[in-house]
A and B are shown apart, each in its own frame.
Chain A
Amino acid sequence: MKKEILKLRGVKVHFPVQAGVFNRVVGHVLAVDGVDLDIFRGEVLGLAGESGCGKTTLGKAILRLVEPTDGEVKYISLDDNETELTSLEKKDMDPFRKKLQIVFQDPHSSLNPSFTIFGSLQDPLKKFGIKSKEERRKIIGDLLEAVNMRREYMDRYPHEFSGGQRQRIGIVRALCLEPELIVCDEAVSALDVSIQAQVLKLLMQLKKEKNLTYLFITHDLSVTEYLCDRIAVMYLGRIVELCDSEDLYNNTLHPYSEALISAIPVADLDKQTKRIVLEGDVPSPVNPPKGCPFHPRCPKATDICKTEVPTLKKYSTNGNEHYASCHLIDLPEIS
């Protein structure tokens, strides 16, 4: 039986846009605009979408690195206790900070250049009650070995490592408090392809060993296909499609996902794929288009798309739950 670890309900992150002499708020960037999402224990949930669609902001909002403007983020512990995270005081957040961690995108800015690896990793351990230095060294050393690095590396400075090594150190940092959910914020996008594969493999291996759950944020659908159990596709701050990863590739429902999938390069010269080329840019999240946010770029858009906002509805493909928000799906909706 699948159990949730996080439930997001109507999560919104709006950034004020200020202008003029007195910094009057003239509008809001709707970075994340009402996301409902369940993340189950032990799964890898991919969060895909193009740049600026709010996927990173959503990931950070879960950890409260960015304060959500509205909505609920509920954490469900192993013994079914629900806690609403967004309304907690900073101090009460601590026990949950231990459970939720993040791996960042840029391996060059994710480590503090002035400290050795041990130096920058020991403070969180100290904070969460590991008082003796030997013990802290042991924990970090063990984790370094778990990511195939040498124990002695903890006394080196970040500039002595390559990008792939730094990223693995980033993973060590995320792992050091034994979290349950790790948000991988484009964790491999900045690495070259051979290193990507290495790091992804490592992530999967660690997941098995430590019973982790990943929220895998990426713009690279070929990576998600390989890793994820389920995939959520985001567009302009909203989730437009959410389903098992196989279904996303074989039974795509939303035209936006179709376009994304058609853009994955295929290493087969004989196979002619039909590219769906989207016109224009992502509309400004400051004033998103009326109706379906995707309609100005959608090749299939009709009149109803311009006026009515579609909601995320539940369908069934291959007997699996499949959510999509589009007016033009002719499958029966499941309530």
Chain B
Amino acid sequence: MAKSSLDKKFDQIRKREEEKTFSTKKRSRIVNKFLNNRLAVLGLIIFTIIILASIFAPLLSPYDPMRVDLRSMRQPPSFDHWFGTDSTGRDVFTRVLFGGRVSIFIGLGSAILSAVVGIAVGCYAGYKGGWIDVIALRISEIFMSFPQIILVLLLVSITGQSLFNLMAIFILTGWGGMYRLARARMLSLREEEYVQALRSFGLSTFTICYKHMLPNALSPIMVNITLSTAMFILTEAGLSFLGLGVPLNIPTWGNILNVAQDILILQNYWWMWGPVGIVISVFVLCVNFIGDGLRDSTDPSQQG
């Protein structure tokens, strides 16, 4: 009887295995799985383009985002000014590029920092339990129950508008969510038998919870980081729109949108607010796609 094609394939595999020529995996599984998710890859590409464009803004645009040019006020989009100019003749495209620097920095920065705080506290408290956990839980509840906008108003009226005030408030109000997520994962993970095994070796709490347990708790946290990046960018835009966020002279996506408060501009000069609105939406969408991809690829229970 002739060998079936399956048999042949198996023989080939066995031969390669015996010769030990099986290519050892160079790319990690997580990267592989992520690359298989088309939407996530698309998100990552656009995300990277927007970030690179913001970083290299001076190379991409000949204009100064702050320079007022009254001779070219409120011009519609043209080859000279891709997104047109605003009421003081500043190039909107340049301002969107430079604004991305601040907005992304605030969004990503506060999301990552609040995640770091939340994870650090949540992992330890969730694993240890007891009074540490109770205290951390209550503190997070106090911060989470406080309305964000009141905190912003308070701080802005005390210290004035600044980028770092805004970030401080985002972190202060944002770590609670991360903490709860990390804690909840740890609570269920600490009953797993591999954790008990590590404890039976007397390994330190630090090694067990941050090195061995944290990677298994990370996938929902990763998603939450991307989601809160998007949320912080939107909140920044919203607060700047209200005039409470970053000082108006610094271009941010929210500050650029600010002009849409004027009904005249909203009706007649769509290029002043349209493009930046689209950029914000696209960026937030991309970040969400990446978050989705990360969740699927980092979830160890889906790697079977």
A contacts, CB < 8 Å to B: 60, 63, 65, 90, 93-94, 97, 100-102, 104-106, 109-115, 120, 123-124, 127-128, 157, 159, 170, 173, 177
Q: How far is the CA of A65 from the CA of B202 in the complex (A)?
A: 10
Q: What's the minimum C-beta distance from B189 to chain A, rounded to whole angstroms?
A: 10
Chain B residues 28 to 48 lying within 8 A of chain A, measured CB to CB, are: 29
Q: Does B196 lie within 8 Å of A104, measured CB to CB?
A: yes
Q: Which residue of A lies closest to B213 (CB)?
A: A112
- Given the known interface contacts A93-B202, A112-B212, A127-B201, the answer about A65 and B196 at a Cβ–Cβ threshold of 8 Å is yes
Neighbour of B216 across the interface among A97, A113, A177, CB < 8 A: A113
- How far apart sit A123 and B197, CA to CA, in the bound complex (Å)? 12
Q: Tell me if B197 and A115 are in contact (CB < 8 A).
A: no
Partner pick for A123 among B29, B203, B303, CB 8 A cutoff: B203
B261 interfacial by beta-carbon distance below 8 Å: no
Q: Give chain B residues whose Cβ lies under 8 Å from the Cβ of A104.
A: 193, 196-197
Closest-by-CB residue of B relative to A119 is B212
Min C-beta distance of A78 to chain B, whole Å: 21
In the assembled complex, the Cα of A63 lies from the Cα of B203 at a distance in Å of: 13
A105 to B193, CA, bound (A): 8
Partner of B211 from the list A65, A110, A123, A173 (CB cut-off 8 Å) is A123
Report the bound CA distance from A60 to B196 in whole Å.
Answer: 9
CB distance from B297 to the nearest CB of A (A): 13
* Cβ–Cβ contact A124 & B212, under 8 A: no
Which residues does chain A contribute within 8 Å of B216, judged by CB atoms?
Answer: 112-114
A233 to B201, CA, bound (A): 28
Q: Is the CB of A127 within 8 A of B194?
A: no
19 extra interchain contacts, Cβ-Cβ under 8 A, other than A114-B215, A124-B198? A65-B196, A90-B202, A94-B202, A97-B201, A97-B202, A104-B193, A104-B196, A109-B193, A109-B194, A112-B194, A113-B216, A114-B216, A123-B203, A123-B207, A123-B212, A157-B29, A159-B300, A159-B303, A173-B197
Q: Which chain A residues border B201 with CB–CB below 8 Å?
A: 97, 123-124, 127-128, 177
Which among A93, A94, A120, A159 is the interface contact of B194 at CB below 8 angstroms?
Answer: A120
Bound form: Cα–Cα A94–B201 in Å: 8
Using CB atoms, name the residue of chain B closest to A127. B203
Once bound together, how far apart are the Cα atoms of A115 and B202, in whole Å? Answer: 19
A residues less than 8 Å from B198 (CB atoms)? 123-124
* Chain A residue nearest to B20 in the complex (CB): A152
Q: Of all chain A residues, which has the CB nearest B196?
A: A65
Which residue of chain B is the closest to A60 with respect to CB atoms?
A: B196
Pick the contact of B203 from A112, A115, A124, A159 — CB < 8 Å?
A124
Q: Kindly report which residue of chain A lies nearest to residue B303, judged by CB atoms.
A: A159
28 contacts between A and B (CB under 8 A): A63-B200, A65-B196, A65-B199, A65-B200, A93-B202, A97-B200, A101-B200, A102-B196, A104-B193, A110-B192, A110-B197, A114-B215, A114-B216, A115-B215, A120-B194, A120-B212, A123-B198, A123-B201, A124-B201, A127-B202, A127-B203, A128-B201, A157-B29, A157-B303, A159-B303, A159-B304, A170-B197, A173-B197
How many whole Å from A322's CB to the nearest CB in chain B? 32
CA distance A204 to B65 in the complex (A): 78
Closest to A124 in B: B201
- A87 CB to nearest chain B CB (Å): 16
> Cα distance A102–B194 when bound, in Å?
11
Chain A nearest Cβ from B108, distance in angstroms: 25
Q: Is the CB of A115 within 8 A of B304?
A: no
Chain A residues whose CB sits within 8 angstroms of the CB of B29 once the complex forms: 157
A270 to chain B, nearest CB (A): 43
In the complex, whether B301 has a CB less than 8 A from a CB of chain A is yes
Decide: A110 and B194 in contact? CB cutoff 8 A: yes
For the complex formed, measure the closest distance between the CB of B210 and the CB atoms of chain A, giving whole angstroms.
Answer: 12
- Are B212 and A115 closer than 8 Å at their CB atoms? yes
Give which listed residue, B194, B200, B301, contacts A111 with CB less than 8 A.
B194
Give the docked Cα–Cα distance between A111 and B197 (Å): 9
Q: Is the CB of B211 within 8 A of A102?
A: no
- Complex Cα spacing A109 to B202, Å: 19
The CA-CA distance from A268 to B75 in the complex, in Å, is 98
Contact status B193-A106, CB under 8 Å? yes
Kindly list chain A residues whose C-beta atoms are within 8 Å of the C-beta of B212: 112, 115, 120, 123
List chain A residues, Cβ under 8 A from B203: 123-124, 127
CB of B196 to closest CB in A, whole Å: 6
Top 10 A-B pairs, shortest CB-CB distance: A113-B300, A114-B215, A124-B201, A110-B193, A104-B193, A97-B202, A112-B194, A159-B304, A109-B192, A109-B193
* Residues B202 and A114 in contact, CB atoms below 8 Å apart: no
In the assembled complex, the Cα of A123 lies from the Cα of B201 at a distance in Å of 9
- Chain B residues contacting A63 (CB-CB under 8 Å) are 200
Considering the complex, which residues of chain B in the window 182-226 have a beta carbon less than 8 Å from any beta carbon of chain A? 192-194, 196-203, 207, 211-212, 215-216
Chain B residues whose C-beta falls within 8 Å of the C-beta of A128 in the assembled complex: 201
A165 to chain B, nearest CB (A): 14
What's the nearest-Cβ distance from chain A to residue B171, in Å?
Answer: 27
Q: How far is the CB of A155 from chain B (nearest CB, A)?
A: 9
Least CB separation from B299: chain A residue = A113
* Chain B 98-136 near chain A by CB (<8 Å), digits 1 or 0: 000000000000000000000000000000000000000
- What are the residues of chain B within 8 A of A157 when measuring CB–CB? 29, 303
In the bound complex, what is the Cα–Cα distance between A235 and B208 (angstroms)? 34
Contacts of B303 in A (CB 8 A): 113, 157, 159
Q: How many Å from the CB of A100 to the closest CB on chain B?
A: 8
